[in-house]
Amino acid sequence: MRIGLFVPCYVDAFEPEVGIATLELLERFGLDVDYPFDQTCCGQPMTNTGCHAEAAATEALFVKNFAPFDYVVAPSGSCVHQVREHLTAIPQTDEVKAVRAKTFELVEFLHDILKVEEFPWAEFPHRVGYHGNCNALRGIHHARPSELNAPFFSKPLDLLKKVKGIEIVAPARPDECCGFGGTFSVFEPAVSAKMGYDKVSDHAQAGAEYVVSADSSCMMHQKGCAERIGVPLKFIHIARILNGATA
Amino acid sequence: MSASDELRPQDEARRDGVIHPEVLAGNDESERGQDGRRLQHAEGASRPISAGALSPKAPREPQPRGAKIRGDRPIDQAEAAERFLAAPMHQKAHDARLWDLRTKRDTAAFGIPEWEELRELASQIKTHTLANLDRYLEEFEARAKANGVHVHWAADGAEHNRIVHGILKDHGAKSLIKSKSMLTEECGFRHYMAGTGIEVIETDLGERIQQLDNEEPSHVVVPAVHKTRFDVAEVFSRTMGTDPENDDAHYLAESQRMHTRPLILEADAGLTGCNFAIAETGTVVTCTNEGNADLSGNVPKLQIHSIGIEKLIPRIEHLGVFLRLLSRSALGSPITQYTSHFRAPRKGTEMHMVLVDNGRSERLGMEEFWTSLKCIRCGACMNTCPVYRRSGGLSYGATYSGPIGLIIDPTFNKRKYSTLPFSSTMNGSCTNVCPVKINIHEQIFAWRKVLAEEHQIPLLKQGMMKAAGQVLSRPATYRAAIGAADSALKVLPRFAVYNPLNTWGKGREMPEAPRQTFHAWYKQNRMAKAGGKKTEGIK
């Protein structure tokens, strides 16, 4: 099984350790993982802003980079949602459709494709609050959103519960958006920051020591908000915990 | 409902002798949902929400006002939202009040095992009705006429206003009482009537507050939810002469009632909106908690009902589906206090119905946006929207605010409301609470595309996206842009967040740049080594 690793641009630049953890974790399961060296971005900043024509060349590059693989895996629900649902600025050839269909977010890849039963190397003796990115939650169905009258499930919590020593605490508003929203964070900064302040305060009140998420983008925003208002929270990507990081 | 926002639970003394002991004891089976849990009736269960210091001497925070309207120029929702956030007492109370409604909605919805099936059924009934709207409208008209109702057709808001004004003039009416209607807001009816010499009196408490304060409703169900008790006390003291220092909700509500009730009893005509129009019977159904639509419809000898043509449902048997969804979605109560059916004029009175298009037919032809016509105006999308709760409804500068507003308003004026679809994180909670399953957040996404294609977004924004697209599609250029190896910080914070004005850093700390990018790490650790697949223990 050949896996193409997609490392989103902000992970590449700001949280390289998340890319490294994702690579190492996949390799722990004996997978053949490649990082196509010419990769850049999934095109989301442009399509999110309505500028589909401006995203076309970036989308074509993504498809060119990842067409050769059996699966594409990325440590970001938001980018995977873009690829799966919104990579439509270029003609939908069989190749494009195939890449879109075989692109998976790390948590769902571990949970649904590899069906991982245990992470014997993982131990995280801390109280954590989980933050579900909205695209991961409602776009690619990581978990049952709180609005729906349906049986509860959560793929990221299923995985985290296999980690030794971890304690999970729930904020009062479990799926309230943290206000990142891609370009929303810079075009509507006041509301975005206020949502972030409220989010990190909610996690702190629930007793969390760490906020854990499958998306670095939300956490980059929340970390900036927490530091600004002095909420002593730490942030860590789920890939690092599952790969055995202890702090 | 829709009153001053500081609803206090009735104190025990007031309850004694008024409420049946069995209800007080919580033994009334009708008070339980199908899952056996006790229902939280919205009003009675409302938590008191403090709007700040209780001391009367404490400085009062002035109410933040809405978006600045400058003709057709795009609304600056972000600017108005920032002013709302700068009034923390208001923002906090607003957020708490609406989140409380969302929580009650969840409890009420989860009390019904078939909730999701009901949503699907309602959505399908609306799909069917809208697909056959011409037929159902003709059926409705024929039935209404057979019931003795005068039926009028209005192509737009201006025609609606002229028709209603004409009816009032023909009867020599000098005053009109009306219940809350978003359609009449959409038509600018109150502003139009201001120039006619006929007095219009809103009978919904929240809407009356907004009328007296010369402000638009900020929410489709709770129009004055952005105001605190203090604000209402100020408005009432200014307009009705109440005690400006007394902000007790009961005092204020009672004062308003004493002031308005005589106007209601003496009014020459009444006007209501319409929640559902039933084709097979020609009936208009209104749902209120104050009974004010009943006053408007039943007290004067001349009654008028304004109906958006998308309000049609085929048969009376379909009504139950929507009634079960409406108030649960809106307020978390099983049903509104009053659900009234208006079918035929009472003896000696006259009844008119005005069917209004005002852009609906055009919207029905929009492939990506027609399902927004399914909306039953419950406000659930607003209550759950984290942006709306922190911005206030008036920040949208439009008749419809919040998520549903973002997708309806641009159909009225693409330039003026071109910014609104960007006032969203597209988190999707709105879509999940919508009782008729409108894919609201997907339509917000689709609107952004339409607006960009038609160059209705700022040149700066589009230019930034063009530049980003050019860099991100050329790996070598991209790598050069973010720095050769280890100096990502120099360019990336600006570049990665597309941030020429440093709006990121205004409310947040900047992320720290790491030692090296993943890309550089991979090159160093995996590509430099021959066949190197081994990782150098990185933490």
Q: Which residue has the tokens 């430099």?
A: B528
User: B185 and B39, same structural domain?
Assistant: yes
Q: How far B75 CA lies from chain A's nearest CA (Å)?
A: 13
> Which residues of chain A are within 8 Å of residue B457 when distances are taken between CB atoms?
49-50
Domain-ending residue, one of B360, B393, B411: B360
Q: Is B332 left (phi over 0), alpha (psi -120 to 50) or beta?
A: left
In this prediction, residue B280 has a pLDDT band, given cuts at 50, 70 and 90, of very high
For residues A184 and B498, the answer to whether their CB atoms sit within 8 Å is no
pLDDT of residue B294: 92
pLDDT for position B53: 44
Residue B51's pLDDT is: 52
Q: Does B384 touch chain A (CB under 8 A)?
A: yes
Distance from CA of B56 to the nearest CA of A (A): 28
Letter for the amino acid at B183? L
Shortest distance, CA A184 to any CA of chain B (angstroms): 6
Least CB-CB distance to B535: which of A24, A37, A53? A24
- Residue B352 sits in the same domain as residue B482: no
> Three-state DSSP class for B353?
strand
Q: Each residue of B498-523: pLDDT tens digit?
A: 455 567 778 888 777 777 889 999 99
Report which of B218, B211, B213 is spatially closest to residue B193, judged by C-alpha positions: B211
Burial of A212-244, coded b for 16+ CB within 10 Å and e otherwise, reads bbbbbbbbbbbbbbbbbeebebebbbbbbbbbb
**pLDDT confidence bin for B453, thresholds 50/70/90:** very high
B24 occurs within a structural domain: yes
How high is the pLDDT of residue B480? Answer: 81
- A20 Cβ neighbours under 8 A, 6+ residues apart: B518, B521, B535, B538
Q: Do B160 and B302 lie in a common domain?
A: yes
Residue B270 clears pLDDT 70, i.e. is over it = yes
- Quote the tokens at residue A37: 């060296």
For the beta sheet containing B150-154, the strands, ordered from the edge strand earlier in sequence to the opposite edge, are B150-154, B350-356, B302-308, B269-272, B175-178, B199-202
For residue B57, tell me if it sits in a domain.
Answer: no
CA–CA separation, B386 and B429 (whole Å): 9
Give yes or no for B508 touching A (CB within 8 A): yes
The residue ranking higher by pLDDT, B50 or A11, is: A11
DSSP type of residue B173: -
- Average pLDDT of the segment spanning B260-265: 94
Residue B345 pLDDT > 80: yes
List, for residues B152-174, the tens digit of each pLDDT value. 999 999 999 999 999 999 999 99
Is the CB of residue B192 less than 8 Å from the CB of residue B167? no
CB B31 within 8 A of CB B45: no
B429 CB neighbours in chain A (<8 A) are 134, 138, 145, 147, 175, 177
What pLDDT, on a 0 to 100 scale, did the predictor assign at position B483?
A: 63
pLDDT of B2 over the 60 cut: no
Domains of chain A: 2-113 (3.40.50), 127-242 (3.40.50)
CA distance A108 to chain B (A): 19
- Whether residues B336 and B481 share a domain: the answer is no
pLDDT digits (tens, 9 = 90+) for B104-116: 999 999 999 999 9
β-strand B338-342 against B283-288: which pairing, if any? antiparallel
* Chain B residues inside the 8 Å CB shell of A179: 386, 425
Q: Which residues contact B505 (CB under 8 A, 6 or more apart)?
A: none
Q: At B33, is the pLDDT very low, low, confident or very high (cuts 50, 70, 90)?
A: low
Are the beta carbons of B504 and A189 separated by less than 8 Å? yes
Distance CA B144, CA B149 (A): 5
Q: Considering chain A, what percentage of its residues have pLDDT values greater than 70?
A: 100
Chain A residues whose beta carbon lies within 8 Å of the beta carbon of residue B433: 147
| Residue B314, domain member (yes or no) | yes
**Which of B386, B465, B517 comes nearest A49 by C-beta?**
B465
* The pLDDT value given to residue B57: 56
- In A114-128, which positions are buried (b, 16+ CB within 10 angstroms) versus exposed (e)? bebeebeebebebeb
CA B308 to chain centre: 16
Give the helix, strand, coil percentages of chain A, each rounded to 5. 45, 15, 40
Distance from CA of A232 to the nearest CA of B (A): 14
CATH of the domain at B199: 3.40.50.10420
B362-367: average pLDDT: 97
User: Which candidate from A55, A86, A181 shows the least CB-CB separation from B469?
Assistant: A55
Give the pLDDT score at B34: 58
Predicted confidence (pLDDT) per residue in B163-202, tens digit: 999 999 999 999 999 999 999 999 999 999 998 999 999 9
Distance CA A226, CA A198 (A): 10
Predicted confidence band at B16 (pLDDT cuts at 50, 70, 90)? very low
Number of domains present in the structure of chain B = 2
Compare CB distances from A134 to B423, B428, B520 and report the shortest one's residue.
B428
Share of chain B above pLDDT 90, in %: 75
Q: What does DSSP assign to residue B313?
A: E
**Do B30 and B177 have their domain in common?**
yes
Is position B396 within any domain? no
Residue B411 counted as domain residue: no
- Would you say residue B469 lies in a domain? no
**B498–A contact, CB cutoff 8 A:** yes
- Rounded mean pLDDT of B291-312? 95
Amino acid type, B464:
M
Question: Is B503's CB within 8 Å of A187's CB?
Answer: yes
**pLDDT digit string (tens) for B72-89?**
999 999 999 999 999 999
| 3-class SS of residue A39 | coil
> B143: distance to nearest CA of chain A, Å?
38
Which amino acid does the sequence have at B86? A
- Closest CB from B116, B517, B526 relative to A13: B517
Q: Which residue, among B325, B337, B277, B319, has the nearest Cα to B133 in the 3D structure?
A: B277
Residue B295, in any domain of the structure: yes
- What pLDDT, on the 0 to 100 scale, is given for residue B511? 78
The interface pTM score, or ipTM, of the predicted complex is 0.97
Cβ-based neighbours of B342, under 8 Å, separated by 6 or more: B272, B283, B284, B285, B286, B297, B303, B305, B351
The answer for B 400-439 residues in CB contact with A (under 8 A) is 421-429, 431-433
SS3 label, residue B396: helix
Give pLDDT, residue A32. 97
Taking alpha carbons only, the member of B78, B332, B371 closest to residue B222 is B332
- Chain B residues with CB inside 8 Å of A11's CB? 518
Please indicate whether, in this complex, the C-beta atoms of A13 and B488 are within 8 angstroms of each other: yes
The last residue of a domain, from among B360, B394, B427:
B360
Mark which residues 3-62 of A lie under 8 Å from B by CB.
7, 9-20, 23-24, 27, 35, 37-41, 43, 45-58, 60-61
CA–CA gap between residue B42 and residue B97 (Å, rounded): 11
> Which residues of chain A fall below pLDDT 70?
none
Q: Which of A80-84, B12-16, B452-456 has the lowest mean pLDDT?
A: B12-16
pLDDT tens for A110-156 read 999 999 999 999 999 999 999 999 999 999 999 999 999 999 999 99
B95 CA: distance to closest CA in chain A (Å) = 11
- pLDDT tens digit sequence for B94-105: 999 999 999 999
First to last CA, chain B: 56
Residue-range definition of the domain harbouring residue B273: 12-51+75-360
Contact B112 A24 (CB under 8 A): no
How confident is the model over B381-416, as pLDDT tens digits? 999 999 999 999 999 999 999 999 999 999 999 999
pLDDT at B495 over 80: no
Report if residue B538 sits inside a domain.
no
State which of B341, B360, B379 marks the end of a domain.
B360
Instruction: Specify the pLDDT at position B56.
Output: 53
Using CA coordinates, name the residue in chain A closest to B495.
Answer: A10
